[in-house]
Structure 1
C-alpha cells in the first residue's frame, strides 16, 4: 500500500434494499440496515441504520421511518441521499482524518432503468462523491466469490437480496443473459406476515416477520436438520389482545412456497436463454448462490432438484456483493469493462 493509499477515501457500496454495506481500504467498515428515521415536520434525520431500525413500526406521529430503497432501486431520492451521507459521516467520524470527497463504486440491479441509474448517481454525488462508478450486482457477486469473470467460461450467479433476485450468466467480463425479478427477502417477509394473519389470526410487524424468516425460514417442508419451533408475538385479530404462538419451519416453507417457485422459474428461464456453449460450462460448474436469500434452509437442495445441477452456496453470501464491489474499486482501470459511469 502506497503512502497516498493510506489516506485514500475511496469506498465501495452495496446499496441494498435491506442492508447497506461499505468497504474502505479492503475492510467492511459499515454494515447497517437501509433505513432512516426523521422528524416529520423539520425533516431532520434522527437516526440511521440499526438505531432507526429499532424505531421502525414503533414511532409516534412526529417521527417517520423510511426505507429509501424498494425492489433494489431508490424509491425516495432525498432519503437515500441523507442515508448515504449519514453512513459516510459515520465512517469519517471513526477515522482520525476527515475524509470529505470520495470515489465511489456502487452496485446496481441488472434490470435497472436509466432513470433509476441516474437516481443512484445523483444520490452519490449529492452525498459528496467525486467520481461515481456503478457495477451490476451479479458481476459484483461473481467477483466477490472468486470467479474469474474474464475467462471465456460461463458462470451462473443467483443473487437473492432484499428487494430483487438477480440471475445472470457471466462470461468474458460481461452478462450474456440475465433475469431480474422483484421477488426476494422482502417478499418472503410479506408472505409470512399474510400467512400469520390468515392462518393464526395474528397480526405481526415487518421486523417480527423477518425474525421468523431468519429463525425458521425454509424452502422445503422436510429438512434433514430442522430448526426448533419459534415463538412469535403479535396481536390477536379476534380479541385485540397480544398473544404468542409457536411456528415450525414447515409452516413457513408452505407460506413462502409460491415466491420460491417464482425464483425457480426465473432460474430455469435464464438457463433456457443461455447459449449452448455456456450451458455446457454451467453443467460442469453448477450455479452459485449469493445474497441473504442463499441462507434460506433447503433452498440449494430445492434448486438442485429442479435444475439437476450442482448448487454452491457462497461462503459468506451476505457479503459477497460488497466484497466484489470492493475488488472492482481496488483496480478500477483493470475492471473498466464491467464498470459504468
Structure 2
C-alpha cells in the first residue's frame, strides 16, 4: 500500500508573478523558475517554459511570443497558467511519479472569489486531487519560522513581483493588513521609464531587472555604485552604452518605495494597541524578492521607527511556508482559505 501511495506526490506551490517555486513533501524546495511561457503564435504550441522561455523573452521573432500568465499576483492568462504549472511540475517528476495527491498554493490576500476559483481550477486541471489555498503573508510568516497561532502580533511585509503583502498576524489569522498591487515588477518598469525619459535610452525588462539587483538602493549607501547599461538610443535608433549611478536610480524608484512604506503605515494605523505594542517589541519582518533591495530595511526603519528584520532567504519564504502547511495540514487547517463552489 505504501508503495502505491508513494507514486502520488504532495506538492506546494508559490505561484508568483515573477517566479514560481515548487516544494515537494520530503524534499523541500526543488524548483525556482521564472513564471513565463513561450508559444508559437499561429499554432499556440508551447515551445519553452521557465528559464528557457526567459532566455527567449524580448528576443523572439514574430512567430514566437512570450507570455507572463500572472499579473499582480493573479491569473491573467488562464490557459498559459495551466501550461506553466503543468510544465514546471513535469520538470520535477521522477520515473515513478503518477500524479498529485495534495496541492497547497500561496495566493495574495486581497484576491476575489473568482480569482481564487481560477487558481483552484488550474490546480485541479493539472491533476491535483485535493487543493488547499493559503494567503502569501501567512505562508511567508510560517516560512520564516514565526508561530502564527500564538496570541502575539507579528508583522510581515512580503514584497513579491506583482503584489506587496502587508499583514499583522495573530492567533492564526490576519488582524490587519493590505494587498498592495505595487511591487518588484513596478520598480522594474519604473527603471525602464526612467531610462527613456532621462537618457532617451530604451532598455529591456531583463536589463532593468539587472540594474535593480545590482545598484538600486532605497537608502543612501556609504558609497554610491555605478554600472554600464546597454540599450537603443531613441533619437538615433542606434545601440548605445552609458554609465548610470545608484543615486539616480534611487531617485527614480522613490515613488513605488514610498507607496509600499505608506501602506505599511496605514496598516499600523488600524492595528489594535496591544498588537502594536508587540510589533514595537518584535519589529517587522521582510520577505520576498523586494526585501533584497539594498537599504530598504533602513528606509522602513527611518520612516516607521520599527526594527526591520530581513528574513533568511527571503525569495523562498512563501514556498517554504506553503511546504510547512503541506507537511502539517491538520496543524495549519485553520489558516487555510475556503473557496466557494459555483
TM-score greater than 0.5 by the shorter chain: yes
Question: 1:71-98 CA distances to partner (integer Å, 9 max, x unpaired)?
Answer: 0100000100010011111111xx2313
For the residue of structure 1 that corresponds to 2:331, the secondary structure is coil
Question: 1:272-308 CA distances to partner (integer Å, 9 max, x unpaired)?
Answer: 0001110010000000000000000010000000000
Q: Distance in 1 between matches of 2:143 and 2:5?
A: 22
Q: Counterpart in 2 of 1:88?
A: 89
Q: Distance in 2 between matches of 1:4 and 1:309?
A: 51
Q: Distance in 2 between matches of 1:135 and 1:101?
A: 18
Contact persistence 2:156–2:286 (CA under 8 A):
yes
Shift of 1:225: 5.4
Shift of 1:58: 0.9
Instruction: Tell me, yes or no, if structure 1 residue 253 matches structure 2 residue 254.
Output: no
Contact persistence 1:26–1:326 (CA under 8 A):
no
Change (3 A) 1:169 1:243: same
TM-score under structure 1 length normalisation: 0.96
For the residue of structure 1 that corresponds to 2:334, the secondary structure is coil
Q: Distance in 2 between matches of 1:339 and 1:288?
A: 21
Instruction: Tell me, yes or no, if structure 1 residue 315 matches structure 2 residue 315.
Output: no
Q: Distance in 1 between matches of 2:138 and 2:20?
A: 18
Q: Counterpart in 2 of 1:54?
A: 55
Q: Distance in 2 between matches of 1:7 and 1:323?
A: 23
Question: Which stretches in structure 1 are left out of the alignment for 5+ residues?
Answer: none
Q: Counterpart in 1 of 2:290?
A: 293
Contact persistence 2:11–2:100 (CA under 8 A):
no
Q: Counterpart in 1 of 2:30?
A: 29
Q: Distance in 2 between matches of 1:99 and 1:265?
A: 48
TM-score under structure 2 length normalisation: 0.96
Instruction: Tell me, yes or no, if structure 1 residue 271 matches structure 2 residue 268.
Output: yes
Change (3 A) 1:4 1:339: farther
Q: Counterpart in 2 of 1:212?
A: 211
Contact persistence 1:185–1:292 (CA under 8 A):
yes
Q: Distance in 1 between matches of 2:291 and 2:15?
A: 18
Change (3 A) 1:307 1:4: farther
Contact persistence 1:153–1:278 (CA under 8 A):
yes
For the residue of structure 2 that corresponds to 1:101, the secondary structure is strand
Q: Counterpart in 1 of 2:70?
A: 69
RMSD: 1.3
Shift of 1:102: 3.2
Change (3 A) 1:64 1:162: same
Question: Which stretches in structure 2 are left out of the alignment for 5+ residues?
Answer: none
Shift of 1:155: 0.2
Contact persistence 2:164–2:183 (CA under 8 A):
yes
Question: 1:255-278 CA distances to partner (integer Å, 9 max, x unpaired)?
Answer: 100110000100000000001110
Q: Distance in 1 between matches of 2:3 and 2:47?
A: 37
Shift of 1:31: 0.6
Q: Counterpart in 1 of 2:183?
A: 184
Question: 1:7-61 CA distances to partner (integer Å, 9 max, x unpaired)?
Answer: 5510000000000000002421111000000111111110000000000111111
